[in-house]
Structure 1
Amino acid sequence: MFPFSYQEYLIYCNQKQSSNSFHAYLLSGGFPEYLKNGMDEILQNLLLDIISRDILLRNSIKNPRVITEILVYLLGNISREFTLTNLKKTFTSIGSVTTIASYVEFLEDAYLIFTLPRHSYSLKSRQINPKKVYSIDNGFIRANSTGFSEDYGRLLENLVFIELRKKYREIFYFREQGECDFLVKEKTKITKAIQVCYEVTGRNKERELKGLLEAMNFFELNEGFILTFQQEDEIIIDGKKVFLIPAWKYDY
């Protein structure tokens, strides 16, 4: 169902765990056929095959081309918020927001994308609020999204989401005054608050900590995590512990 994890990638490619191998995995993703020869055409053809086999053959779609265009658009906006209304404004040929919602659902059912709701105790609010979008594989994003630069921060966030998605049923993002990338809910409680930042610097440290600490205080968590590319540290603020851990070392 999912492409190779980082650990599976290491075995398949006969590499050792390191920041260098993780960086290569961050860009390539984990589809075995792509890893054999590194040709983007393999991932581009895979996209078309999945849409044809898992979406068009199973659903009545008046304009098959537009669902591919929606997917490419969403792949170019990985880790960003979107609303169905804004998608409707972008794809004006689609008749209604209801149709847009169906197309996004088809893409999710085919495991091409995943949507992440904003945390709210109200089910209606979770349905109405903007969602964030992620994809099944980083190589898949890079090969199929037009104009997607190698934004390591967004690719790292996508990779972390996929690992969380494999293990946990309920994941949210948090947005109040600040933002926290991921909240993990187990049974009836939020148990983890996770921020993703490729590199914590003097320019972004305050922002990253603010959103994480706000979520930690909101859910009465004593520990929080910032997953990075290779930084490690421990920060204590007002009795709260924040651990900076490389994403490839974190125990999901």
Structure 2
Amino acid sequence: MQHPRKIYFVDTSFLTFLSVKFSKNMERLMENTVFIELLRRGKGVNYALGKNWGIDFVLLIKVSYDVSDEGTLRCEVNALRKVSREFDFKNALLITWNSKRRIEREEL
């Protein structure tokens, strides 16, 4: 089964309008902002989806607005763990809105 393609907006004002109008989804806006910055830096953009996980960008970057809930943090780190082991990534990055924490490879 093929996964649907993700849609990103080059102009985030449209996405901001949709987020405020319908769901106030800051995580989606953050993910889109990271996408734009990766394009500006000339990086190829790809994503990975599994049965119970998803990685936003296969560089290995995961974007999550709020990981203050331990269950959410665990879910995000588990997704990074699975992909980093499967594809032998040495570095992974979890981008959040208000949390700074370094997670070492041993924790993945």
TM-score normalised by L of structure 2: 0.81
Does residue 225 in structure 1 map to residue 93 in structure 2? yes
Paired with 1:205 and 1:198, the residues of 2 have a C-alpha distance of 11
Give per-residue Cα distances to partners, 1:59-89, cap 9 Å, x unaligned.
Answer: xxxxxxxxxxxxxxxxxxxxxxxxxxxxxxx
SS at match of 1:226: strand
Tell me what 1:180 maps to. Answer: 55
Paired with 1:144 and 1:216, the residues of 2 have a C-alpha distance of 33
Paired with 2:102 and 2:19, the residues of 1 have a C-alpha distance of 36
Q: Which runs of 5+ in 1 are unaligned?
A: 1-124, 184-191, 241-252
SS at match of 1:205: helix
Paired with 1:199 and 1:167, the residues of 2 have a C-alpha distance of 25
Of structures 1 and 2, the one scoring higher in RCO (CA 8 A, sep 6+) is: 2
Paired with 1:153 and 1:145, the residues of 2 have a C-alpha distance of 10
More strand per residue = 1
Q: Which runs of 5+ in 2 are unaligned?
A: none
1:152–1:198 Cα contact (<8 Å) kept: yes
Does residue 162 in structure 1 map to residue 36 in structure 2? yes
CA RMSD of aligned residues (A): 2.4
TM-score normalised by L of structure 1: 0.38
SS at match of 2:70: coil
Tell me what 1:138 maps to. Answer: 12
Shift of 1:130: 1.3
Paired with 1:234 and 1:148, the residues of 2 have a C-alpha distance of 34
Amino acid corresponding to residue 224 of structure 1 in structure 2: A
Give the structure with higher Rg (CA): 1
Paired with 2:8 and 2:105, the residues of 1 have a C-alpha distance of 31
Q: 1:145 to 1:175 in 2, by over 3 A?
A: closer
SS at match of 2:46: strand
Count of paired positions:
106
Paired with 1:239 and 1:166, the residues of 2 have a C-alpha distance of 31
Tell me what 1:195 maps to. Answer: 62
SS at match of 1:203: helix
